Amino acid sequence: MNALLKLSRMKSGVVPGECSLVTGADMSLSPWLFWLTASYISGIFLAPVLHPLAGTSLVLGGLASAAAGRRRTGRLLLASGLFLLAAAGKVPHAGSSLQPPGRSGVFEGSAEVVTREGAVLLCDAGRIWLDGKWIHTDTMEGDSLRVLGLEQRGSLFVCDHTVIRSRDPFARLRRKALETWRSRLGPGTPSALAAALVSGDRSTLPDAVRILFRETGTTHILSVSGYHVGIVAALSYLLIGRGLRRRRPLFAALVCLAMTALYTQFSGARPPAVRAAVMAVSAAFLPVLGIRAPGHSVWAIAAAAVLAADPESAYDAGAQMSFVAVLVLTTIRWRFGPAWMAPLTGLLSGMSITLGLAPILTGLYGGLALASAPATVATTPFMALTMFTGALSLLPIVWVPFARIEEWSVFLWLNLLGLMRLPVVRFEGGHWAWLWVAAMATCWLLSERRSFLRRFG
């Protein structure tokens, strides 16, 4: 029996004790890819607070386990220790908040974030908040700034500033698109939402619109991420056609790669957009290469790519919400047979994501919007329509009907959100964390009800 078991494992490509990233005769990505990425993420968060001996101990423990014949345990410990040691020198100040300028005077740097209230300047002194409500009128993210300001309550009140526009071609395209939207849609909410959804620029969003999206728990829709990149990838596949996709799958995957890469760069290449682009390209290429990729493995590829390029993005709130939301979707999978149950599936998935994001949202906004899941499901069609017509309104000559449709879409979207306002649940103390763990476990058990109950049958 042992010989037959060993022979079957050899035929399937799985050798006892091995930890290959690609396993099985059908070339599927190994679950170890997810755990290695989780080790890297843990190293990023733990490196600033742990002594370097912790990483060294894990490395020694991995070597000892491998020498003792426990290769899987040894490789995981070895990878965790190496990631911990590698991250220690990369993110010494990661997660830190804005720094006070420390003085009045002239500062030079690049605009990292631009809003209607001011901007975040990345300079030699760190990240400094610039208090100036007129900065967004001529400044975009990525532009260089020379600022003359006065220190006031930990920020820099801008007296005067000079903008050196970015020479990046995608930044120039983004600026041209913003100017076109403002001229064709006006300087109001329609042009601001088109800019936010298509180009990722939210600097011109009115305060009332920001508050509305925050109170309904739909702020994530305004961030270029999976929804937006998924629409671009789907459009690229539709443009190729079903017949060509079947005859030339590699060509279709390359077109998807080009379209998603160009759009990601155009939208500013923020971590949520990069994550979505990597996952979309992986989903397009891996089947062509004959590799089956579970959701957790594709998530791990995207996380490894984003965090390897910039470990500090692990502390970015947008990146955290994006990765956690997708991880919840790949872990808690609501499945119902009939197609007419799709809205219920979307609602339950939205509720699971809202619960999964509760710790992050509570830290950012102090509470959890009860309207988040139903508002996301109900308004996603308006988001897609606004994004689609906003992009088409950039076309020459034929832009007028698309601009009018975009304005009506925004009008209906915001009014529907206004009707869906529900109370925001506030959490105090640390006891709610146990309720959160219980709620997530319950969602998982209910979503896996058939396979879970089958174990007892």
Element (H, E) at 255: helix 249-266
| Digit-coded pLDDT (tens) for 167-201 | 888 888 888 888 899 888 888 889 889 988 888 88
Nearest-angstrom CA–CA distance, 31 and 19: 9
Distance CA 60, CA 429 (A): 39
Q: Residue ranges of the domains in the chain?
A: 19-88, 105-164, 207-448
Q: Is residue 151 within 8 Å of 101, Cβ to Cβ?
A: yes
Q: How far is CA 77 from CA 23, 85, 90, 115, 249, in A?
A: 21, 12, 20, 43, 39
Query: Phi then psi for 290, rounded to 5 degrees?
Result: 80, 20
DSSP 214-274: HHTT-GGGGS-SHHHHHHHHHHHHHHH-HHHHHH-HHHHHHHHHHHHHHHHHHTT--HHHH
337: helix, coil or strand?
A: coil
**How many CB atoms are closer than 10 A to CB 148?**
14
Torsion sign, CA atoms 433, 434, 435, 437: positive
Record the tokens describing residue 362, joined without a space.
Answer: 């509570």
Question: Where do the DSSP E strands lie in 102-256?
Answer: 105-114, 118-123, 126-131, 144-152, 155-164
In the three-class reduction of DSSP (H, G, I as helix; E, B as strand; rest coil), residue 291 is classed as coil
H helix intervals, 368-454:
372-392, 399-419, 432-447, 449-454
Nearest-angstrom CA–CA distance, 289 and 166: 39
User: Can you list the residues of the chain whose pLDDT is less than 50?
Assistant: 1-20, 24-25, 89-96, 452-457
Distance, CA of 58 to CA of 74 (rounded, Å): 9
Q: pLDDT per residue over 2-48, tens digit each?
A: 333 333 333 333 333 344 455 544 566 666 677 777 777 776 666 66
What's the pLDDT at 405? 92
Say what the pLDDT of residue 72 is: 64
Q: Parallel, antiparallel, or unpaired: how do β-strands 22-23 and 105-114 relate? A: unpaired
Find the helix or strand (DSSP H, E) in which 174 lies. helix 169-185
Sign of CA dihedral 103, 104, 108, 113: positive
Cα end-to-end distance, the chain, whole Å: 27
Rounded distance, CA 441 to CA 278, Å?
A: 29
Q: Which CATH superfamily is domain 105-164 in?
A: Nucleic acid-binding proteins (2.40.50.140)
Q: Which residues pair with 128 in a beta bridge?
A: 121
* Distance of alpha carbon 421 from alpha carbon 416, whole angstroms: 9
Q: pTM to 2 decimals?
A: 0.76
